[in-house]
Structure 1
Amino acid sequence: MSASVAVVGKIIWVLGVVAWYVIRYPHARRAKRVRVVSDRRSLPEAIGLGAALLGMSVIPAIYVATGIPESADYPARAWAVAIGAILYIAAMWVFRRTHKELGKNWSITLEIRDNHKLICNGPYAHVRHPMYTSFMLMALGQAFLLSNWVVGLAGLIGFAVLFFLRVDKEERMMLDVFGQEYRAYMDRTKRIIPYIY
């Protein structure tokens, strides 16, 4: 039973990654057509993106494909896979809504695009960084879906490195561009968890 539950968890994780790509791809193509007017890319940001890619894509993909590191496996539980599936569905919903609201303002790196606007609708009405909210939900979902200590921790660590290396720089950039309008927005919203943080 545990082995078949583990397979279901792996399948759901793969479907989640495919959904992530399907959601992101058209927005990435569209964003390339909009001129960048301010680029704040940095080494810490590249490290954060690399850590997230490693922890939330590369390490779990190797595990799903090969079972390595098998020594860190623990018995898969149906309730854990169900929680992981719910977290992944929630992550994809937030991820899609975030991209839809951002439209041409979206960028994978810290950039300001031509005619950039401050978005305060949809998930942005509740948190300033719902994209990170979706990544946090994905990392938690990964920890429940894939019954391996290394893979579960890799996603959480990858998310944490990205978040803590980038979020302060992102907020400084938004303050530089939008000034008091962004300050007021900060006063009425939380960072990634509504009403909490």
Structure 2
Amino acid sequence: MAVASLGEIIWVIGIVAWYVIRYPFERRARRVRIIAGGRSSSDTVGLASALLGLAILPGFYVATGIPAAADHPASAWSVALGTIIFCSALWIFRLSHKELGRNWSITLEIRERHELVSAGPYALVRHPMYTSFLLMGLGQAFLLPNWVAGISGLIGFAVLFLLRVDKEERMMLENFGSQYRAYMEKTKRIVPYLY
């Protein structure tokens, strides 16, 4: 099997695993009443950008090989590194969902009896789910030997992050006040000890 094909297969398995992790939390979240927040146009653009960059464009590339002009040589080391990074992303993604539990939402929402979560990955960063998306994008760049499909995940993540993180933090400050401010002082946004 060619190294490029192996990278594509690992990427597909990773995307399927991502959905398998998210689905039960998505189902449970529908049962908990929303008391504040909701989807805005910038939220929709951010989510659509992430979906386009982390799933649609690379999925189209894996299925068709288009745009072949943007291909570059695949290497075993890049597929190995991409696999490790993507698996790390899925691990953080799962831990984040598990720790959030009933507080989880795909959009910026405060749910009934919402609690501030600061354990598990939230003890190191305020937004570990964004950390997982960053790692997914990085893993994708190593797994898919195509400049467009490979890098699209990082671009999709960047758009989502830039459009949502400030709004999310404002919403948490409004809801939790000084408790969230103290939490912000102890943690970084998405990269432990750095940012």
Secondary structure of the residue aligned to 1:21 is helix
Contact kept in structure 1, 2:54 and 2:152, CA below 8 Å: yes
- Structure 1: 4+ residue segments shifted above 6 A: none
Amino acid at match of 1:164: L
Question: Structure 1 vs Structure 2: percent identity of aligned residues?
Answer: 66
- Quote the offset at 1:40 in angstroms: 3.8
Alignment of 1:96-115 (within 5 A): 96-115=94-113
Q: Counterpart of 2:144 in structure 1: which amino acid?
A: L
Matches of 1:89 and 1:57, distance apart in 2: 16
Q: Structure 1 length as normaliser, TM-score?
A: 0.98
Match among 133, 140, 163 for residue 142 of structure 1: 140
Counterparts in 2 of 1:167-186, with a 5 A limit? 167-186=165-184
Question: Is the contact between residue 95 and residue 120 of structure 2 (CA under 8 Å) also seen in structure 1?
Answer: yes
The 5-angstrom pairing of residues 115-194 of structure 1 reads: 115-194=113-192
The number of residue pairs the alignment matches comes to 195
Question: Secondary structure of 1:112's partner?
Answer: strand
RMSD over aligned Cα atoms: 0.7
- 2:4 aligns with 6
Question: For 2:193, which of 189, 192, 195 is the aligned residue?
Answer: 195
Q: CA deviation at 1:152?
A: 1.7
CA–CA distance in structure 1, aligned partners of residues 137 and 96 of structure 2: 17
Alpha-carbon distance between aligned partners in 1 of 2:46 and 2:23, rounded to the nearest angstrom: 21
- Tell me if structure 1 keeps the 8 A contact 2:78–2:142: yes
Select 1:38's aligned residue among 32, 36, 49.
Answer: 36
Does the Cα contact within 8 Å between 2:140 and 2:151 map onto a contact in 1?
A: no
| 2: CA distance, partners of 1:145 / 1:38 | 39
The aligned counterpart of 1:74 is 72
CA offsets, 1:147-168, max 9 Å, x none? 0001122111100000000000
How far apart are the structure 1 equivalents of 2:46 and 2:91? 23
3-state SS, counterpart of residue 41 of structure 1? coil
- Separation in 2 of the partners of 1:92 and 1:68? 26
Distance (whole Å) between structure 2 residues aligned to residue 194 and residue 32 of structure 1: 31
* Unaligned runs of at least 5 residues, structure 2: none
8 Å CA contact 2:21–2:94 kept in 1: the answer is yes
Aligned to 2:14: 16
Among candidates 82, 86, 91, match of residue 93 of structure 1: 91
Q: Distance between the aligned counterparts of 1:41 and 1:115, measured in 2?
A: 20
Q: Deviations over 1:65-92 (max 9, x none)?
A: 0000011000100000001000011000
User: Could you say what secondary structure the match of 1:50 adopts?
Assistant: helix
User: Structure 1: any 5+ residue segments left out of the alignment?
Assistant: none
- Aligned partners of 2:149 and 2:14: how far apart in 1? 16
Distance in 2 between residues matched to 1:195 and 1:166, nearest whole Å? 21
Structure 2: distance between partners of 1:39 and 1:47: 16
